């Protein structure tokens, strides 16, 4: 019989009650085992999710670094573009230089 029932002094429970409680304790033990197994599965799943989250955090940090670099490059490009002459301004300057060259050439 079950070890818990063995602790009960003889004669307190009828044979039918002993069988009933023995069956009940076995069922409880089975449910407890299933519960422990379920927790083990959940623990393994949580560990896998934590590992995936760690990898995602590393990837996000890498992307943030790359975005910071892109932002710096964009600022540099904007600064350079502000210093550049627009096409229409360049066209007008080229035309004026051409007219000055004609006058100087005589």
> What pLDDT score does 52 carry?
98
Place of tokens 């301004």: 89
* pTM flag (> 0.85): no
> What pLDDT score does 1 carry?
44
Reported residue count of the chain is 106
> What pLDDT score does 8 carry?
66
How does 41-77 read in b/e, with b if 16+ C-beta sit within 10 Å? eeeeeeeeeeeeeeeeeeeeeeeeeeeeeeeeeeeee
Long-range contact pairs involving 53-57 (C-beta distance under 8 Å, separation at least 24) = none
Q: What's the token pair of residue 49?
A: 């999710």
Q: What is the mean pLDDT of each run of 10 residues along the chain (106 residues)?
A: 61 80 91 95 97 98 96 91 80 90 83
> What pLDDT score does 68 carry?
95
> What pLDDT score does 90 carry?
84
């Amino acid at each position: 019989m079950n070890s818990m029932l063995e602790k009960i002094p003889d004669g307190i429970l009828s044979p039918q009650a002993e069988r009933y409680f023995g069956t009940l304790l076995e069922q409880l033990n089975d449910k407890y085992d299933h519960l422990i197994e379920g927790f083990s599965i959940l623990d393994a799943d949580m560990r896998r999710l934590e590992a995936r989250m760690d990898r995602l955090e590393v990837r996000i940090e890498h992307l943030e670094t790359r975005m910071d670099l892109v932002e710096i490059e964009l600022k540099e490009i904007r600064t350079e573009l502000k210093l550049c002459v627009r096409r229409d301004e360049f066209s007008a300057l080229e035309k004026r230089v051409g007219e000055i060259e004609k006058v100087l050439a005589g």
